[in-house]
Amino acid sequence: MLLASASLTACSSQMYGTLPTRDAAYALIPPIDRATTPSEYQIAPGDIVSLAVFGEPDLTLEKLPVDDAGFIQVPLIGAVRVAALTPAQASTLIATKLGTNYLRNPNVTLNVIEQTGQVVTVEGQVMKAGSYPVDSQTTLLGAIALAQSPTRIAKLNEVVIFRTIKNQRMAARFDLGRIRAGRDPDPQILGGDVVVVGFSQVKSGYQDLLRAAPIFNVFTNF
């Protein structure tokens, strides 16, 4: 069993060892000081949006829920699917639909005001793995804190963030110890990300040694 565990750990480390780190990792998953702006955010089911049409108060709505299928209900034109669109793209789509039959050159602005559908999944060596709600200010440290911190056998320099970018599953590896110390920036976490905290075989062996110490009389008084 111990040999199998060690083998799996070695395979995992070799796989993660091929992932981008440091500058290459931050190029893929930027730090919070280069956070994704609202115009780049993709609307998700469960979000709440606001809609404003310049000069048309009857078409201006403070809160519109995005339903489970990704649609909002817009006066005059009915259901419009906005999921997976940025706010700018959704604004253009609605303006086009309104301009086709109802208004001349409508000026439409759609904004996301609540990202209720956004969660991050935290797995691996954390105290409480699970899925947690995030917003545009959530960072890697924040996500780990939501999972009640790493375990004692966590491998802090092997924390992997998985993210879907342009329909491709990507991953990058970060050093949580350096981030905690302020030596590396804290990457932004987005809804849909998966964070996996690695397992340290060395720390695990040390913990096993401490637990076995009273039995085998490892420690001796001098």
* Domain formed by 2-37+117-215, architecture: Roll (3.10)
The pLDDT of residue 11 is above 60? no
Confidence band of 220 (pLDDT split at 50, 70, 90): very low
| Rounded mean pLDDT, 26-45 | 83
Confidence band of 213 (pLDDT split at 50, 70, 90): very low
Distance CA 73, CA 44 (A): 15
Q: Where in the chain is the domain with CATH 3.10.560.10?
A: 2-37+117-215
Confidence band of 135 (pLDDT split at 50, 70, 90): confident
Confidence band of 217 (pLDDT split at 50, 70, 90): very low
Distance CA 5, CA 40 (A): 42
Kindly tell me the burial class for residue 9, based on how many C-beta atoms sit within 10 Å of its own C-beta (0-12, 13-18, 19 or more). middle
Confidence band of 16 (pLDDT split at 50, 70, 90): low
pTM for the model stands at 0.63
CA dihedral 125, 131, 137, 141 (to 10 degrees): -10
Q: Which of 14-23, 66-75, 146-155, 167-176 has the lowest mean pLDDT?
A: 14-23
Other beta carbons less than 10 A from residue 61's beta carbon = 16
**CATH 3.40.50.300 is right for the domain spanning 42-114:** no
Q: Where in the chain is the domain with CATH 3.30.1950.10?
A: 42-114
